[in-house]
Amino acid sequence: GSVEDLLAFSDETLIRAVAACTIPVVSAIGHEPDSPLLDYVADVRASTPTDAASKLVPDFQQELNALNNARQSVRRTIGQLITRESTSLTQLRARPVLATPDGFLIARREDLLNSRRRIRVHITNVVLHATTQLAHTRDIVRALSPGFTLERGYAIVQGPDHHIIRDSSQLNPEEVVHVRVASGSFSATVNQITAKDPA
């Protein structure tokens, strides 16, 4: 057709209607040298009505190939997933704790028994050490006690005023002193006083 024949496809009313249309519009005027305004507002531009038909109705064989490709891709993905999970399961089964669970429990039981034995030995050593220390401390206290000193043959002498006599100069002849020994006490009269030899 001539340019005048194509003017109808550049009509403002038509152009606005196509632009506002919510349904997809295909422009297939079939006049390549000229481009009516409809070609610019249509959703799809086809060179000929035959081209428009091929764009609107996909090629069956092409769609079938795409479907087969998608199906093979899904199968391949599923196969890879199954292989990966099977490998993970095999590796999991190969772990000692799952391959021989009894052996794992026996090893843990041995560890527990060894720990209990070590704790028992440690507690025994602590108790023995504490007992030894207590006996040693008791011996020291006993050795420092007045009663133990008396048991070794010493005596405590108190003067008439009941003060402990530490030096012979504190006594006078004929004074009565009180003598305490390990098994009891008695009184004695001072008959003679002998000073300590300076040497």
Rounded CA-CA distance 59/167 in Å is 136
In this predicted model, what pLDDT tens digit does every residue of 150-183 receive, in sequence order? 788 888 888 888 888 888 888 888 888 899 988 8
Q: What is the DSSP letter of 176?
A: E
In this predicted model, what pLDDT tens digit does every residue of 63-102 receive, in sequence order? 788 888 999 999 999 999 999 998 888 887 777 666 666 7
In this predicted model, what pLDDT tens digit does every residue of 8-67 receive, in sequence order? 777 888 888 888 888 888 887 765 666 788 788 888 887 777 777 777 776 667 778 888
pLDDT at residue number 92: 79
Rounded CA-CA distance 149/156 in Å is 10
Read off the tokens for 7. Answer: 């003017």
Rounded CA-CA distance 162/158 in Å is 5
* Contacting residues for 146 by C-beta, under 8 A, at least 6 apart: 156
* Cβ atoms within 10 Å, residue 115: 10
